[in-house]
Amino acid sequence: MSFLIAINGQFSPLNPTVERVKTQISSVGQVPTVREFKDILQTVDEEAAVRINPKVDAYQQHAKSFQQNRKYEHARDIMTSPVKTIPQFALVSEAIKKMTQYGFRHLPVVNEMNVIIGMISERELIGPLENKLCHEIMAHKVIVSDETTSINEIAITFLNEKINALPIINRKNEVTGIITLTDILAYVIKSTSFLGSA
């Protein structure tokens, strides 16, 4: 799946290597004492630490380097999650309060099952809003996508559909994240190709 259009809750298509240490017992059939076992284990631990610590350090260094240089490819890599939403029967004043508190410009409107049914953005907050409910003023047609959609496709959709926010949903159509134009721009700036051309 790439993209869907949500209208009032209805959707349509738009093993590590294990090291073994062998110990030899001088007399066949002789069982080592508890103290001898402790000495053997301590020796094994010290020898293993000498061998393993550099490997652990190298792994941690590699993991850090990978995290810094990894290329983000899918919606799940750049989306904001968990996402703040507003119930459809909440007052618009509550939506305004939440948007102001968190500095949002877009707020998905959901039903009781957390399925997106609309979106409130700054443009819906113009005009008399006193005592109105979110579902009365929200945009009913919302383009959504899933977590596996490529960032490339998302950017093209932002451009073609002239949208500024894209809610991300799971298989149950529940909202799990959101991507805004700011997220796309931040991704472009962080990408190595963008920095290399500067």
Would you list the DSSP string of 73-107?
Answer: -BHHHH-BSSPP-EETTSBHHHHHHHHHHHT-SEE
Domain boundaries, the chain: 3-10+73-196
What is the biggest distance separating any 2 CA atoms in the chain, rounded to whole angstroms? 94
pLDDT of residue 33: 57
What is the CATH number assigned to the segment(s) 3-10+73-196?
Answer: 3.10.580.10
Helices 181-190 + 151-161 axis angle, to 10 = 130
- ∠ at Cα 71 (70, 73), nearest 5°? 140
Q: CB-based contacts of 157: which residues, under 8 Å, 6+ apart?
A: 3, 143, 145, 163, 166
pLDDT of residue 11: 80
**Could you tell me the mean pLDDT of each successive run of 10 residues in the chain, 198 residues long?**
76 52 43 58 59 66 62 86 94 94 93 93 87 93 93 93 94 92 88 57
